[in-house]
Amino acid sequence: MTSRVAPLKPSERVRMTGNAHHSPYDKSFWSLLTTQFLGAFNDNVYKMLVLLLCADRIKVDPLDDWQGPATMAFAAPFVLFSGLCGFLGDRFSKSRIILLSKVLEIVVMGAGLLVFWALPPSRTQLALLIAVLFLMGAQSTLFGPAKYGILPELWDRSWLPKINGWMLMTTFLAIIGGTAAAGILRDTLPSLTVSQSVCVLLAIVGTLTVLPMRSTPVAQPDLKFRSSTLFIDPEARTALREHSKLRTALLYSSIFWFVGGVFMQVVNTMGTRQYGLTDTQKGQLAATTSIGIAIGSVLAGALSKAQFRAGLVRIAGMGLALTLGLIGMPGRLSSDVGAVVDRLPWFPLWGMAVLLTLAGLFAGLFAIPLQVYLQAMAPEHLKGRMIGAMNLVNWIGIILSGAFYHFANRMAVKFQTGANTTFAAVALIVLIATLRFRMQDEPLDVTPPVDP
């Protein structure tokens, strides 16, 4: 069939990579890296505070766990608004979109501070905090397509694997720090109102760090809004239909985020029900996965070398499935942890930390090649909308992780298998997906072909 996706014109390549002569480590690099680090750190401090409050409820009733609904609330804006935000990333300057999103972060964190200050701990307070979590997801939805779409506008695509490695590494370093910091803040500061004040301060600092970034031109100033843009833009859908490799990369990228969404919830529940940890300790245990992802992300960038490494995705998928299977092994029954009789994991706490770190490493190796492929091989005039589509599909994966965890947790409580056994089911999903992966290695410095 004849392609309806216009090939990349030489003049268009020059226009969209006009800043390619800049060093990849210039002031814009450090500005964007710092901004997204602070934003991810702040998001994870607030999200983890809310998840810890949700996990507290299972100390009394193991079925009264709000972590699944909270995760779905955070992910829902990415599904509802990713298409629109991808459109905005192409219709307006991505550098201005990034600045606007950071200003909105200050407003959202201020709303969370108001809820903590005005209401005592209760179901009503928790419901409103989850509503603020939804708003935080909406702000992050606006930031995401601009953050990733601006990379090929600021730097040559040959640098994208390394820059993406740095971006994902610092994102997960922020997750490590934010996740661990939330528990520390809750255990050490006099109130959650004071803890949330830290989030407001971080939002202000993160807004200031945007200012040194180079301005970027509008990718498509004449782009018209259509109602279909609210989901996946028609041109982006056409590109995905005609380019099966883009479709595959999009689907497998969402698997990474599905697994990541399950991790945080299960680790909190393991820490509460199976290991009897404090909030600080639960944050530290959850952070081990992010440490592994950060290492795997940088390693994937170094191994890629301006190539898409399909073999690396396969190896990482198999390693992730094996590690998750080990984590999910049930151990002995015990009644000495909290008030709930539960089956302990097979591994002691230090062994679980090692396995979670290793699982994160394989996850980082799995995700980076797929993300880079989507950025580099999408048609130039569709990059913002294609990144929006990637966000949409990734966050559908996270919403599914919330629903999956909610169901799996009820089954684990009913049959007393232990919260960690949820990972065994996830391992099976990853294994099947990896065995069905059909992409091959290819260079990233060519215009993407379309299927005949």
Q: Does residue 6 lie within any of the structural domains?
A: no
Q: Residues 254, 367: contact at Cβ < 8 Å?
A: no
What is the domain range of residue 79?
24-211+235-443
Q: Does residue 29 lie within any of the structural domains?
A: yes
Q: Determine the pLDDT at residue 402.
A: 87
Cβ atoms within 10 Å of 253's Cβ, excluding its own: 22
Burial bucket for residue 23 (CB in 10 Å: 0-12, 13-18, 19+): exposed
Q: Does residue 16 lie within any of the structural domains?
A: no
The 3-state DSSP class for residue 270 equals helix
Cβ atoms within 10 Å of 188's Cβ, excluding its own: 11
Tell me how far apart the alpha carbons of residues 171 and 430 are, in angstroms, rounded to a whole number. 23
Tell me how far apart the alpha carbons of residues 360 and 377 are, in angstroms, rounded to a whole number. 26
Angle among Cα 225, 230, 236 to the nearest 5 degrees reads 80
* Residue written as token pair 């550098």: 95
Q: Determine the pLDDT at residue 354.
A: 94
From first to last of its 452 residues, the chain has per-residue pLDDT tens of 333 434 334 334 334 444 544 566 778 888 999 999 999 999 999 998 998 888 777 776 777 778 888 989 998 988 888 778 878 877 888 888 999 999 999 999 999 999 999 988 888 999 999 999 999 999 988 888 788 778 877 877 667 777 877 887 787 778 778 888 988 998 888 788 999 999 999 999 999 999 888 877 787 777 777 776 677 767 778 888 888 888 899 999 999 889 988 988 888 888 887 888 888 888 888 888 888 888 898 888 788 777 888 889 999 999 999 999 999 887 666 544 444 446 667 778 888 999 999 999 999 899 888 888 887 787 777 776 777 777 778 888 988 998 898 888 888 877 777 788 899 999 999 999 999 998 887 876 655 444 44
Tell me how far apart the alpha carbons of residues 406 and 59 are, in angstroms, rounded to a whole number. 16
| Overall domain count for the chain | 1
Identity of residue 13: R
Q: Determine the pLDDT at residue 343.
A: 65
Burial bucket for residue 422 (CB in 10 Å: 0-12, 13-18, 19+): buried
Angle among Cα 6, 389, 387 to the nearest 5 degrees reads 75
Give the list of residues 6+ apart from residue 421 with CB closer than 8 angstroms, or none: 328, 329, 330, 343, 412
Among residues 294, 349, 364, 359, the alpha carbon closest in space to that of 326 is found at: 359
Q: Does residue 15 lie within any of the structural domains?
A: no
Among residues 249, 296, 307, 256, the alpha carbon closest in space to that of 438 is found at: 249
CATH of the domain at 321: 1.20.1250.20
Tell me how far apart the alpha carbons of residues 330 and 297 are, in angstroms, rounded to a whole number. 30
Q: Does residue 82 lie within any of the structural domains?
A: yes
Q: Does residue 134 lie within any of the structural domains?
A: yes
Cα-based distances in Å from 284 to 175, 206, 370? 11, 24, 28
Q: Does residue 218 lie within any of the structural domains?
A: no
Q: Does residue 374 lie within any of the structural domains?
A: yes
Q: Determine the pLDDT at residue 341.
A: 47
